[in-house]
Structure 1
Amino acid sequence: MPRLGRGIRELLLSVADKLVDGPPEAGHDRNGATQTVFAAAYIMTDAPHGTLYVGVTTNLVRRIAQHRAGEIDGFTKRYGLKRLVYFEAHDDINAAIHREKRLKKWPRAWKVRLIAKENPDWRDLYDELFG
């Protein structure tokens, strides 16, 4: 089993609890299936130690699926960033936006250390969480 940083393990458990107990809001995918909806700041990449993108969303499942499918024009599509390597769930979108802004101002080295601490193998968390 790959190593997980303590924060990612706790977050996985938190997300699993929301799936079982019900999320703060429920959304639906294109097929009508219920999705877990919460605000999140997240980091995408194309490869370990590759190009990084920091984003924010109120529906992580949908947003990452859109990035992976190339449905969103812009930075992630242009650079082929499809791997979710880090995210933080927030109960409030304003808190998530604040965190996204702070992360965007961080030097690259700090972001790399944050990812390496929580997800040392730079695995794609999307498949582990929602796949």
Structure 2
Amino acid sequence: MERLARLASGLAGLVLLASSAWAGQGAEAEIRARLGQWTEAFNNGDATTACELFSQSLISDYRGQGEAGYATRCALIEKALGDRERRFHYSADIKEVIVEGDLAVVRLTWTLTISPGDIKSVEPGMDVFRREDDGRWRIIRYIAYEE
């Protein structure tokens, strides 16, 4: 009987580990999808949808620009996308996504192409996501720099 109880306990532990891993994979897929949605919105000039990726509690630090919150970052996005002289296009290379509960860290490199002139800016960085009360993953912190 004791052996059966240990077997059941071990089985329950395996089920818990498997469900935890599955939840992490689901969260990773959601975060990757959110980054894809941001890229599409930005590249289509949709600042409102692009800003939806950021939490209202955002603190960001981009080398040379200093720390900024949600309102400042979104104003910069709106200004860039409203520029009729230039076109901005981002692509992302996601290096890894680490999920722990309701927090996740994404290590990635963004490449920004500015036209005319096809000027390229390679921007490695790290984003910290949190699953917010509405169930959506949003960036609460990020740090990035231009190479």
User: Is this a same-fold pair by TM over 0.5?
Assistant: no
More strand by share: 2
**TM-score of the two chains, using structure 2 as the length reference:** 0.26
Report the structure number with the largest CA radius of gyration.
2
Structure scoring higher RCO (CA < 8 A, sep ≥ 6) equals: 1
More helix by share: 1
**TM-score of the two chains, using structure 1 as the length reference:** 0.28
